[in-house]
Structure 1
């Protein structure tokens, strides 16, 4: 089993409820930002990093996304008839992803700064870590409301609490997923088990990131990408 991540799971199956009404006729990853679908912004970073395998899951209004990705060397993991949430969706895609740790990445954000996958990989230590979360100081998390998701200890171990904002990008060992009985479940369940063992870690991204989960996030994201000032 490999120790370094060479596969990326792009989460693209959600209903995009916060992005309504723009998701009435398309899945959220196909919402345009700066003239390109959101998922293409994620794919640009992924391809720049150069993993062996890229997988995207689909569920809500999937055909537009499938058509968009059909010539892009991205494997499609269909979630049907029910959506499986992040943990269940990742587990269902393991036949595409293979063994060993994987990146998982949300597709409703844009980034400005160094390649976040590269920065995460440079900090990954499989001997100590079962998951490594890429987080941001609140001032660098544009469009994010709330006090934050995780705190970071002096040794890099993560704990839950206000502080750093989770970016939606991580490296995670997938073997723990097989111990969870539910078919549909959040990766929060896996993180809780890692927290109990002291094997959940966090690191801070050195650039900026914008949440594009709501319609007002589009203008903020386009500004971050150079269409104005944030």
Structure 2
């Protein structure tokens, strides 16, 4: 599941003329870079949700084959947010568990593909969600205070308000469809389901072994291009 339906408000003015997933970093769009991450892990099929400038996204998918079989989940009528967008697309997702990836970050794999690492770490008996995380100190361009604490077994709990947490969610996760049982109707964020999974001890994380860049603003685009050039 490729989450590509956001409004991209923080990326203005670049998103005045294009949807955020089509903003380019070092000559390649964020959407195509997300596809690159999936293909490196052996993924063959993706579902992409669309809302803001949906026609532009669909035209991009038709003109530039991502090397994957792609289906579109149409949110033109209503933006469903992260959790609601995945819930709406579940009938198009033919596997369980399945991956979800944000189209506004950049992942550079370390010794092992991040996608394959999530797959190898997955324990269906223990997990409803497995999030790829990165230490706050290595979260390039990330403006926040961290998202989660992680125990020795990899179980996650959310950062408390006003505190700092050592791990940042990278936008890539492996999810069981059972996480969406009794999910709210309409738009909702993934945190709703993450907190439910955490309360049951079924929200886990694994550390990214490569590089990660938060690319949510025009300034972050420039900074990321400079870091990629240096690397």
With normalisation by structure 2, the TM-score equals 0.91
Deviation at 1:113, TM superposition (A): 2.8
1:135–1:202 contact (8 Å) kept in structure 2: yes
What SS does the corresponding residue of 1:132 show, helix, strand or coil? strand
List runs of 5+ in structure 1 lacking aligned partners.
1-8
Shift in Å at residue 14 of structure 1? Answer: 0.2
Taking the aligned partners of 2:83 and 2:108, their CA distance within structure 1 comes to 27
Aligned partners of 2:83 and 2:188 also within 8 Å? yes
| Equivalent residue for 1:15, pick from 4, 7, 24 | 7
> Per-residue deviation at 1:142?
0.2
Residue of structure 1 aligned with 2:86, choices 87, 90, 98? 90
Ranges in structure 2 where 5+ consecutive residues have no aligned partner: 160-164
Partner of residue 201, structure 1: 204
Which of residues 8, 20, 37 is equivalent to 1:45?
37
Match of 1:136 in 2: 134
- Match for residue 36 of structure 1 among 10, 25, 28: 28
Counterpart mapping for 1:173-184 below 5 A: 173-184=176-187
Q: Which residue of 2 aligns with 1:146?
A: 144
User: Offset of 1:164 from its aligned partner?
Assistant: 0.2
Q: Secondary structure at the match of 2:188?
A: coil
Instruction: Answer whether contact 2:98 2:174 (CA < 8 A) is retained.
Output: yes
1:127 corresponding residue in structure 2: 125
* CA drift at 1:28: 0.1
What's 2:46 paired with?
Answer: 54
Name 2:106's counterpart in structure 1. 110
How well do the aligned residues superpose, as a CA RMSD in angstroms?
Answer: 1.4
Instruction: State the SS of the aligned residue for 1:179.
Output: coil
Find out whether 1:64 has 2:67 as its counterpart: no
1:228 CA drift (Å): 2.4
